[in-house]
Amino acid sequence: MSRIGKNPVKIPTGVEVNVNGQDVKVKGKLGELSLRVNDEVSVALEDFANDDGSKSKIVRLNPRSNSRIARQVWPTMCRLIQGMIVGVSKGYEEQLEIRGVGYRANMQGQTLVLSLGFSHEVRFPVPAGIKIEVTEQTAIKVSGIDKQKVGQTAANIRGFKPPEPYKGKGIRYVSEYVLKKEGKKK
């Protein structure tokens, strides 16, 4: 039995969740997201009594059968709905930093322009639903309401010039630690 799936997804104030069959729509102050829940999992919107006596709503998911696929998909769907709720209420953010002499970034309209030591500038069009800010020439902030899109966009930007192991030059996450190798010896 899944420990993640057993726990219901709590809906905070300011977030509206609509369940229509297998379709779940979540609306909050930052935007709206929708998800089609797998057919192996049942989804229901229920009222819940808090400890202080107030009422709130929860989303409860249960597997329709005891099959292996139902048990695997059940906690995944639970986490996806919870991620949508966090996304529309708080949003997601990834921070990248650029290290290297002459490496820099800037925004030109809806295009991120990166100078990474190549013979040309790297141009990255900003995907829909994603906001990219260049706070300094070497700091990039990727934000949005969809956790998967934010993470994939940050990974795509990092993929243009991942940090190399000798000097650490390249694009990295702010929290990333790059293990450096020892260079050649004479």
pLDDT digits (tens, 9 = 90+) for 23-35: 999 999 999 999 9
CA angle 111, 115, 116 (to 5 degrees): 125
Domains, the chain, ranges and CATH? 3-89 (3.90.930.12), 92-173 (3.90.930.12)
- pLDDT attached to residue 114: 95
> Tokens at residue 47, please?
């009222």
Torsions phi, psi for 82 (to 5 deg): -65, -40
Average pLDDT over all residues of the chain? 92
- pLDDT attached to residue 73: 94
Name the nearest CA neighbour of 134 among 160, 108, 116. Answer: 108
Question: What's the mean pLDDT in 178-186?
Answer: 86
Question: What's the mean pLDDT in 113-118?
Answer: 93
Residues 166/100, Cβ–Cβ less than 8 Å: no
pLDDT higher than 80, residue 38: yes
Q: Which residues pair with 35 in a beta bridge?
A: 24
**Sequence-separated (6 or more) residues with CB below 8 Å from residue 56:** 10, 11, 13, 47, 48, 50
Percent of the chain residues past pLDDT 70, beyond the cut? 99
Place 183 in a pLDDT band, splitting at 50, 70 and 90.
confident
pTM of the model: 0.87
